[in-house]
Structure 1
Amino acid sequence: MSAGLALWLSEQFQVARPAATAVALLPAVPGAFLAWIAYRDARADAAANAEAKARTLTAAVTAAETRQRAQLIGPGAHRIDLIFRHRSEPANNATGAADEGRLTDVVDYYRRLRPARLVITGEPGSGKTLLALDLLLGLLTHPERTETDPVPVRLSLASWDTDRPLRDWLAEQVHDQFRDRGVTAADAWLLLDRHRVLPVLDGLDEMDTVATPVGQRRAPRALEQLNTYQHPTGNAPVILTCRTAQYAELTALDLRMREAARIEITPVTPAQAIAYLTARSTSPARWTTVFDTLAAAPECALAQTLNTPWRLNLAATAYEERHPDTLGYLRDPADLLGFASRSEVRDHLLGIYLPAAISQHPTRPGCYQSDQTHRWLAALAAHLAPPASAGVGTDLVLHQLWPMAGRRRVRTADAFLTALLFLALDALLLTQVPMGLSPRELLGTAPVMLLGLGALLQAGRAHPQRPRAARLQRLRDSAQRRRIVRKTLRGLGAGLAGGLAVGLGVGLTVDFAVGLAGGLPMALTGGLTIGLVSGLAGGFALGLTSPAVPATHTSGLTSQADPRHLIRDDLVIGLVGGLTFGFAGGIAGALTFGAAFGLTFGLIAGFTGGLVGGLYFATGAGRRYVIFLCCSRGRLPWRLGAFLHWAYGAGLLRISGTAYQFRHRELQDWLTTRPRA
């Protein structure tokens, strides 16, 4: 292409071929400079120490899962010492498994297994996730842990498309969950290649529905890949959770995780339930009639319902609620004795759990009304309810919720607003320039038309872009700020080189082709101005998205993940980029065409290209999320992210990586069938 341009210049304007070649190659200078910077950074990152990356991941996992366990346990950090029993399979069992164990010694139980592959099963609400969390955190804090031990990372299996290889999915999940703490995609692959990640895979039972044909289910394919997941000494360590009934269905088809120990959590005994409720209550005497019933009739409906940690937590939360004015208890635990079946007790507890959890929010009680909260959560639960052939939906990822408002409706609204924005900005631009109908002037509108067409195509995409990997929280840390400054200065150099090249190219073209006097100085001024501002913006963006350096304090990279940051950072990057190019266009226009006309024309042209480019080529996920909220008025709150995080604080939701999930599947299923309180 450059050679053709050189030949064309030499033939049309009698320019010496070496000079024309130099002009044609000038635009490639900034690209080559940026490519060299990216190559050097990639080599430096690839040579990074695996131990340092593992320490970064360890700190991130420890911080996130400690908060997650505290949120699941609830006030007072009272835990039931769950009992589990080993269930031997006909073949391919791990060695070293004792017949019985408890939550308090699960770490030692796991460390004796050879190979270190464990399947945790139990009934719904039996505490599988809590046991896995205790095991994960216990492994990270065990006194005999060494720097070469793998880092346990908890992942939700519901999001795995098993047509993808396991290692690809693991690398993507590790990066997505911990990129805010500086774990890049290259880091994730490095850790997997060095066998420094221990997958803790939660929810094998959530990959399929009962109606899914066996041959189309994802769980069997997941087990096949887990059985081929190897490291140099044999089968790689894995921790897996699944409901007992679903795992039994798989084992009946001779499908199981091989070379693993399977344990099953036993139901909570009446004595354990009484001890837990006594510890959770501020006045245990109120529970006397319930305690007597549990002890005297362990087979009654109430005892059979309160035999899991989840249901016990429901009861403790609901019956400890107090009146906001008098501080008297709103409910008497003796009311639990009036139900004849387990389903009646369950529905009663779930029905009073939401208002109780809302009123007992640790920081913002009563921020949302109970009926509003129920309606909004029920709408989200209904969105997760799958068609017959799909898996069980569990993840509420903000930028993936837009189909909830109707795919066609959201895409149509996106395209309509795109056309409206573009036409409004373009109309302002045309008012500043008297346009004729000459071929040259019509040709000058082609870039504007192409920009608008590209924006419309982006708006109509069925699958918008993933959020950009920007990390605005880096601005809080001094080491990260220094890294961003260095990247910004490099971008400035690249921008100046690019502006010089573009200015020379445009100026020579204007001089030769158009014959406009002073075309070269004007083009150089505009090119250098735009290159300067663009280089600064590009370097700043590169500093936000490039691999991180170790943080200098714990409030930086090791803080709790916030699923809202993906959307926030994505929108900020797009809007800031658009505004930056708008001001750059204004400055360039003023310097090139004069202070009055040039400033107005440059600002409008810059904002037209910058806002359209920033909103439609840089922030597809963030823009689509905003359109989705506009299309969901009345069905969901306008500040959906703030509401979901508030619900997480109330204990109604939990966080898994970049997604919110309902606290328990039973709550999600119950809300699905009850759209209103």
Structure 2
Amino acid sequence: MTTDRLAELAALLKDLRKRSGLTQEQLAHASEVSESTIRRLEGGRAQNPTLLSLAKLQDALGAGPEDRRRLAELLANGRAAPAEAPAEAPAEAPPAPAARSGMLVRDDVRSAARDLALEVRRRWRVEEEQRRVHDPFPLPVRWRRTDPALSDHEANIERLPPGAAAPLPTDLSGDLPTVAAFYRRRRSGRLVILGRAGSGKSVLTIRFVQDFLESRAELERVPVIFGIGSWDPTASTLRAWVTERLVRDHPQLADRVAGRSMADALIEADLVLPVLDGFDEIAEGLRGRALEGLNEFSSPLVLTSRREEFAEAVGSAGRPLVWATVIELADLTTEDVASYLPRTARRRPGDGGTGDGGTGDGGRGMWDGVMGRLREEAGSGGGDDGGGAPALAGALRTPLMTALARTLYSDGDRPGGDPAELLDARAFPDESSVEEHLLAGFVPAVYRSRPRDRGWDPERAELWLGYLAHHLAHPDRERQDLAWWEIGDFLPSRQRVLSVVLTATLCTTLSTWLIGFVIGRLPAWENAVQGALMGPAAGLAFGAVYAVMNARGGGTFEPAYVRLRLRPRGGGRPAEAGRGARRGAVRIFTARFGAVLAGGFVMGLGCSCALMVQQQLAYGPRLNRQVLEWMATNMLVFGLIFGAGAGLVFGLLAALEAPLDVASAANPLGLLAANRAIVRGQFLVLVPLLALSVGFGGGLIVSLLDGVVGELNWDTRDGLQIGCVVGLAGGLSYALSFTAWGHWVIRARLWLPMAGKLPWDTAAFLDDAYRRGVLRQAGAVYQFRHVRLQHHLGRAYRRSRTGRSLRWSPVDPAAGPGESG
């Protein structure tokens, strides 16, 4: 905005404020625009005032129609187009719909949106650096208008009222630096980006998020990228799924505000702009329903997809994504590739001549001859249209394949490797053969290029990555999210149950021996027998509980996003909020108590059976009616003691849980470390609480039932010994068998490495693969760099294991024939 226009705007705002009788401080309070912003506006120093701030000031000042018209004219005539916008763009681009009025947004929600924006910006800036997008410069990503049948009417996109004149055709072309400005010009705020595999859709969304946040106004939506491939539209709405993913990737948003999570409050306040990456990765039979679900979600969004899959979904749903502009990414040209690859190659000693590959240093690089051939082919009329282009030119039309070619030849350490081999028509007769060669060489290249980092052998690293890629596949639906807490579930169901049985058996046996040795109530041989019997009994009981949970779909434990807080919920809050928090705590306690009660009862049954066997061994076998009655009574009493004790303790822990206040835990290793600390804290609390609840609670239950079910006896010292065993064994078994971190330790750190499926330090391996560019981070999970790389590694693994594609087992889809997990 020019100096004259700024002065006019300042004078108008100052005059309005004086007429309203407000001071700058009072206006700031009424409009929720900061006092410093008001001072800059009235001083003529705000170079780019936001429409949202000015609209709030108009409302707070009670501006009349004439004043609003003058203000609109100042903005329309005085603001220049963004520097990165195309020359033909209008001077003032209509913005995407803004969030709700600041008067309707709580201060804590506004603060959470600001913190979320900072975290999203930091995360994707790091990810962009990790992907080396700007090294040496970003590959061009351009777009153009696609088939109009895939897009909504222009009048709908502009949200025009009935009878309004149809808008003139809009130029829908652009490139990577202008994506945020292009989006802001689309009034509906709904954009679909189509492109073939590897065309740069993910890179474009990252750049969009960065640029949008650079110019974001207060209370404007925060763009957050979600991999939509894991959304099941038949199981949840998009709004519920986005809320769940927000909590997973940003644990601090699990904090409760007004009876709901902060993530839910942000969605309700319309302060999140979902950037949904990978619509084509949704299961084929669900895409039509997914598009219907997107149409039910009326807020702005950005969606990426391959063209064919999106077109099929539009046909299935019977209409496109409402209010959405649809664009399609264009292929790289030969000149784009020829300008990029030579500048990625290292200069070699002895290079001479005056190469034309664009190295900029007068030397002739390894790519010059190849690029010269491609230029000649393109100049002859058979290059960029794909008709007579060589296989290499066709393969390098996507940023993905160009980046892989760079890794193999410019960055890799391939003795004698020369990109000219890619021009061999006999070895590479078509595009797919070149692409398979680049995909096959990628992992070995990145592990040979930096062998000193961890010393991973390239062949074994490729085998381990292939194992992970294979188990992300599914006959009906393929997953992209590689979550550390789900790796243990790659084991077949029987082995998962067996791991719980063995873990609980070992924990109980060792705990029984240790407590018996310390207390010394029984002879050594009897203590040894008791431990040997109690261990398997508890193991089978834990295994039975887990098997039931697994059969009902609850065998996967997600990371805990809570910590234990001893201060009662609602402390320091208003009385009404405190009462609501207490009622919520009671509900949580009741639900957890009921869920754990049944499991604890099963544990008590196992303990009574073990004691009965011990008695039979110690005093000779005798099986009569009296013994059976004694056994039945013990089963009932121990079941009630263990069930009530465990339910009470876990219910109390649930009532004391508070959200995990760690924003940095959203990356995989950070979340793993946070959960290790959470489980450690839970264990330290569980052991004494379980010991006390069983030791003293058992005496209370026995006193209540004595004479009702028969003559009962509960010696205090025996009760404390049993309580200590239950506390130590139960705490260990719970931590290792019923938490995400425990499954990670037992299965991903021990079981799978012993089977040779993964390295011993799996966490370090995953982090190293991320730093080498094989994996990428998407919040709290890893993903393969591209779904095509995931497919290739999965196929290579299956070929290496069986010599043919593995067939899926109808019993356990996670494992194929011959797989032992």
Same fold (TM over 0.5): yes
Aligned residue for 2:793?
A: 671
Letter in 2 for 1:356: A
Q: Which residue of 1 aligns with 2:747?
A: 628
Counterpart position of 1:194: 269
Matching residue within 116, 123, 130 for 2:203 = 130
The range that moved more, 241-250 or 457-466, is 457-466
Take 1:306 and 1:75, find their aligned partners in 2: how far apart are those partners? 19
Report what 1:6 is aligned to: none
Question: In the TM superposition, what is the alpha-carbon distance from 1:202 to its structure 2 partner?
Answer: 0.7
Contact 1:53–1:183 (CA under 8 A) maintained in structure 2: no
Who is 1:32 aligned against? none
State the distance in 1 between where 2:542 and 2:211 align: 50
Q: 1:419 to 1:107 in 2, by over 3 A?
A: same
Instruction: Report the Cα distance in structure 2 between the residues aligned to 1:448 and 1:344, rounded to whole angstroms.
Output: 57
CA contact (8 A) 1:384 1:393 kept: yes
CA displacement 1:552-577 (0-9 Å, x = unmatched): xxxx73x4832134444334433443
Q: Deviations over 1:285-313 (max 9, x none)?
A: 22111111121112111111111111111
Q: Are residues 1:315 and 2:388 paired?
A: no
Distance 1:547 1:408, change over 3 A: closer
CA contact (8 A) 2:508 2:538 kept: no
1:270 Cα shift?
A: 0.6
Q: Is the 8 A contact 1:119 1:240 kept in 2?
A: yes
- Post-superposition CA distance 1:607-631 (Å, at most 9, x none): 2343345445xx4322223332333
Cα separation, 1, equivalents of 2:566 and 2:135: 45
Q: Contact between 2:515 and 2:724, CA under 8 Å: does it hold in 1?
A: no
Of 390, 407, 430 in structure 2, the residue corresponding to residue 341 of structure 1 is 430
User: What CA deviation, in whole Å up to 9, does each residue of 1:110-144 have, x standing for no partner?
Assistant: 100020110000111000111111111111112xx
Q: Which amino acid aligns with 2:304?
A: T
Number of equivalent positions: 536
Q: Deviations 1:587-609 (Å, cap 9, x if unpaired)?
A: 999xxxxxx99998886564234
Match of 1:92 in 2: 153
Within the candidate set 347, 351, 371, 1:291 is matched to 371
After superposition, the Cα gap between the structure-2 partners of 1:320 and 1:66, relative to the gap in structure 1 and judged at 3 Å, is same
Equivalent position of 1:383 in the other structure: 471
Cα distance, 1:487–1:451 mapped onto 2, change above 3 Å: farther
Aligned position for 2:455: 367
- Per the alignment, residue 40 of structure 1 pairs with none
1:201·1:241 contact (CA, 8 Å) conserved in 2?
yes
| Structure 1 stretch displaced more, 179-188 or 393-402 | 179-188
Alpha carbons of structure 1 residues 412 and 366: separation in structure 2 relative to 1, 3 Å:
closer
Measure, in 2, the Cα distance between the counterparts of 1:75 and 1:603: 59
Which residue in 2 is equivalent to 1:108? 181
Give the 5 Å matches for 1:425-444: 425-426=511-512, 428-429=514-515, 432=519
Is the CA contact 2:687–2:730 (under 8 Å) kept in the aligned structure 1? yes
Per-residue deviation, residues 90-125 of structure 1 (Å, max 9, x unmatched): 443424852311111111111000201100001110
Deviation at 1:267, TM superposition (A): 0.4
1:151 aligns with 2:212: no
Q: CA deviation at 1:644?
A: 1.2
More moved, 600-609 vs 623-632: 600-609
Q: What is aligned with 2:626?
A: none
Which has the higher mean CA deviation after the structures are superposed, 68-77 or 152-161?
68-77
Give CA deviations for 1:168-225 in whole Å, capped at 9, x if unaligned.
Answer: 111111111111577667111100111001000011100125xxxxxxx111111111
Residue type of the alignment partner of 2:203: L
CA contact (8 A) 2:503 2:733 kept: no
Structure-2 separation of matches of 1:636 and 1:627:
13
Shift of 1:228: 1.6
Greater RCO (CA < 8 Å, at least 6 residues apart): 1
What CA RMSD, in Å, does the superposition of the two structures yield over aligned residues?
A: 3.9
* In 1: Cα distance, 2:656 partner to 2:129 partner: 36
CA drift at 1:85: 0.2
Q: Report if aligned partners of 1:418, 1:459 keep a CA contact under 8 Å in 2.
A: no
Provide, for residues 372-430 of structure 1, a one-character-per-residue CA deviation record: whole Å limited to 9, x for no partner.
1110111111112211xx22221111222233221121112212322342244235546
The alignment status of 1:546 with 2:659, answered yes or no, reads yes
Q: How does 1:9-158 map to 2 (within 5 A)?
A: 49-73=108-132, 76=135, 78-90=137-149, 91-93=152-154, 94-95=157-158, 97-142=170-215, 145-158=216-229
Displacement after TM superposition at 1:646 (Å):
0.9
1:260 maps to 2:324: yes
Cα shift at 1:67: 1.6
Cα distance in 1, alignment partners of residues 683 and 562 from structure 2: 18
- Aligned pairs for 1:509-528 (under 5 A) are none
CA distance in 2, matches of 1:386, 1:79: 34
Residue 661 of structure 1: how far off its partner (Å): 0.8
User: What's the secondary structure of 1:413's corresponding residue?
Assistant: helix
Determine helix, strand or coil for the equivalent of 1:320. Answer: helix
Q: Equivalents in 2 of 1:349, 1:69: separation in Å?
A: 22
CA contact (8 A) 2:506 2:535 kept: no
- Per the alignment, do residues 135 and 183 of structure 1 end up closer, same or farther by CA in structure 2, a change over 3 Å counting? farther
Is 1:245 the equivalent of 2:332?
no
Contact 1:320 1:329 in 2 (8 A): no
CA distance in 2, matches of 1:485, 1:270: 64
Are the counterparts in 1 of residues 251 and 665 from structure 2 also a CA contact under 8 Å?
A: no
- The answer to whether the 8 Å contact 2:334/2:393 transfers is yes
Q: Closer, same or farther in 2 for the Cα pair 1:435/1:133, shift >3 Å?
A: same
Decide whether aligned partners of structure 1 residues 453 and 199 sit closer, same or farther in structure 2, where only a CA change above 3 A counts: same
Question: How far apart, in 1, do the equivalents of 2:494 and 2:721 lie?
Answer: 38
Match in the other structure for 1:306: 396
Aligned equivalents of 2:495, 2:719: Cα separation in 1: 40
TM-score normalised to structure 1 length: 0.70
User: Per the alignment, do residues 416 and 172 of structure 1 end up closer, same or farther by CA in structure 2, a change over 3 Å counting?
Assistant: same
After superposition, the Cα gap between the structure-2 partners of 1:405 and 1:455, relative to the gap in structure 1 and judged at 3 Å, is: closer
The alpha-carbon distance between structure 1 residues 92 and 660, as it changes in their structure 2 partners (threshold 3 A), is same
Query: Separation in 2 of the partners of 1:47 and 1:113?
Result: 28
* CA distance 1:73–1:177, shift in 2 (3 Å): same
Q: Counterpart of 1:223 in structure 2: which amino acid?
A: L
Q: 1:70 to 1:396 in 2, by over 3 A?
A: same
Number of the residue aligned with 1:563: 668
Q: Which amino acid aligns with 1:190?
A: A
> Displacement of 1:353 after TM fit?
1.4
Instruction: Give 5+ residue unaligned stretches, structure 2.
Output: 1-104, 159-166, 348-358, 360-364, 378-382, 384-388, 524-533, 572-581, 583-644, 696-716, 801-821
Partner of 2:496: 410
Q: 1:416 to 1:71 in 2, by over 3 A?
A: same
Q: Is residue 2:642 matched to residue 1:574?
A: no
2:293 counterpart residue number: 225
Aligned amino acid, residue 764 of structure 2: A
Residues 160-179 of structure 1 mapped to structure 2, 5 A cutoff: 160-163=231-234, 164-179=236-251
Q: Which residue of 1 aligns with 2:444?
A: 355
> So what's the TM-score if we normalise by structure 2?
0.59
CA distance in 1 between counterparts of 2:448 and 2:768 reads: 12
Preserved CA contact (<8 Å) 1:487 1:542: yes
The answer for the alignment partner of 1:611 in structure 2 is 732
Match of 1:26 in 2: none
Partners of 1:118 and 1:312 in 2: CA distance: 27
User: Which amino acid in 2 is paired with 1:227?
Assistant: N
Quick one: which amino acid aligns to residue 746 of structure 2?
I
CA distance in structure 2 between the partners assigned to 1:77 and 1:178 by the alignment: 32
Q: For residues 366 and 586 of structure 1, do their structure 2 counterparts lie closer, same or farther at Cα, with a shift above 3 Å needed?
A: closer
